[in-house]
């Protein structure tokens, strides 16, 4: 919150927001996943044939089959991903005392010797 006297850590803020975003998008894309699975398993002639078959035999509930396990799988994964991105963003965007951005060290793999070499970007 912008007007609050309590500071909010964006890393911790990313955890519930990432979980909500992941759960919501997973629920919305479940019908696409169901159709894709039916195309692979049942060998329908196309996506329209798969949608028609699901709708005719199972109704709207068939389009959201197995949505709960998918949501339960993606909520923690999305939450941790968002939290990690926020942590890394905060960490690498810290400014030095002179106001310049910190230099980020990068690791690269030497193709010939397969050894790690440290460099700066």
- pLDDT tens-place string over residues 61-109: 999 999 999 999 999 999 999 888 888 877 777 654 455 555 554 545 5
Nearest to 63 by CA among 88, 30, 86: 30
pTM for the structure as a whole: 0.62
- Where do the domains of the chain lie? 10-96
With a cut of 50, say whether residue 121 has pLDDT above it. no
| Burial readout 70-84 (b: 16 or more C-beta within 10 A, e: otherwise) | bbeebbeebbebbbe
Q: Is 33 exposed, middle or buried (0-12, 13-18, 19+ CB in 10 A)?
A: middle
Q: Measured between alpha carbons, how far is 121 from 104 in angstroms, rounded to an integer?
A: 6
Confidence of residue 14 (pLDDT cuts 50, 70, 90): confident
Query: Taking the CA atoms of the chain, what radius of gyration do you get in angstroms?
Result: 23
Which residue(s) pair with 118 in the sheet?
107
User: Which has more confidence, 62 or 121?
Assistant: 62
């Amino acid at each position: 919150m912008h007007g609050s006297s309590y500071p909010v850590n964006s890393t911790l803020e990313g955890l519930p927001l990432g979980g909500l975003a992941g759960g919501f998008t997973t629920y919305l894309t479940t019908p696409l996943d169901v159709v894709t699975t039916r195309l692979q398993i049942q060998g329908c002639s196309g996506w329209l044939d798969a949608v028609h078959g699901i709708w005719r035999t199972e109704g709207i509930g068939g389009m959201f089959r197995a949505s709960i396990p998918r949501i339960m799988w993606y909520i923690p994964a999305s939450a941790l991903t968002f939290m990690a991105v926020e942590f890394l963003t905060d960490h690498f965007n810290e400014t030095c005392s002179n106001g310049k951005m910190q230099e980020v060290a990068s690791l690269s793999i030497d193709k010939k010797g397969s050894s790690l070499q440290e460099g700066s970007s």
